[in-house]
Chains A and B, each alone.
Chain A
Amino acid sequence: DQQVKQNSPSLSVQEGRISILNCDYTNSMFDYFLWYKKYPAEGPTFLISISSIKDKNEDGRFTVFLNKSAKHLSLHIVPSQPGDSAVYFCAAKDTSGTYKYIFGTGTRLKVLA
């Protein structure tokens, strides 16, 4: 049972435009959400996070939105740059007595110059 879902395996966006990556979750015990970026042959690197008590968090070109009622979060990248081309994973932290982080299957973003 996939608790964290990224339903779009890939996304292509023109340079300078907005990239929107989506993530859905099913477990209401998740209280902290993170986005990671991964380049080939490297480990994932932390991008931005949001606590369940907030609905938006912004860091430079990156904004994460959380809709708890819909169990949905999204990552907005504005403006998109060619260097943003990577695989993006969303992750959720389980607080039901464990310290597990569950990841989605990833979305490959390609920013076209």
Chain B
Amino acid sequence: DAGITQSPRHKVTETGTPVTLRCHQTENHRYMYWYRQDPGHGLRLIHYSYGVKDTDKGEVSDGYSVSRSKTEDFLLTLESATSSQTSVYFCAISPGTGAGANVLTFGAGSRLTVL
């Protein structure tokens, strides 16, 4: 889907374990985002990146960390997963300049279940 892939697509884990979700893009877009989708809450921004090694917090960043060591990869880490982090996670990218500068393109999502 427009050169953006998320892995894993599904994961079940136990409370207290670390989890890393990966977002990989082949579009060379500058901006990358992590959202979570929950019933009644819509899409909420967790963290975003505006360049390699440049990241900032979103609306619901507690319990999450991110890293971006190269343009194409944006990692979301749950250091110690909790049941409240059971959700569907979406990665999104945006070029920031040129055609479609302000349009977010989303990945297919990663469904995480924390038992």
Q: Identify the A interface with B (CB < 8 A).
A: 6, 32, 34, 36, 41-46, 49, 89, 91, 93, 98-106
B85-96 vs A, Cβ < 8 Å mask (1 yes, 0 no): 000001010101
Task: Beyond the given A32-B102, A91-B43, A103-B45, please list 14 additional residue pairs across the A-B interface where CB-CB is below 8 A.
Answer: A34-B103, A41-B109, A42-B109, A44-B43, A44-B106, A46-B103, A46-B104, A91-B104, A99-B31, A99-B50, A100-B48, A101-B92, A102-B45, A105-B40
Is there an interface contact between A89 and B109, defined as CB atoms closer than 8 Å? no
User: B33 to A101, Cβ gap below 8 A?
Assistant: yes
Assuming the contacts A34-B103, A46-B103, A49-B103, asked whether A101 and B108 have C-beta atoms less than 8 A apart, the reply is no
| Contact partner, A98, options B35, B56, B108, B109, Cβ 8 Å | B56
Chain B contacts to A: CB under 8 angstroms: 1, 31, 33, 35, 40-45, 48, 50, 56, 58-59, 90, 92, 94, 96, 102-109
Most buried by B among A42, A46, A102, A103: A103
Bound-state Cα–Cα, A98 to B33, Å? 12
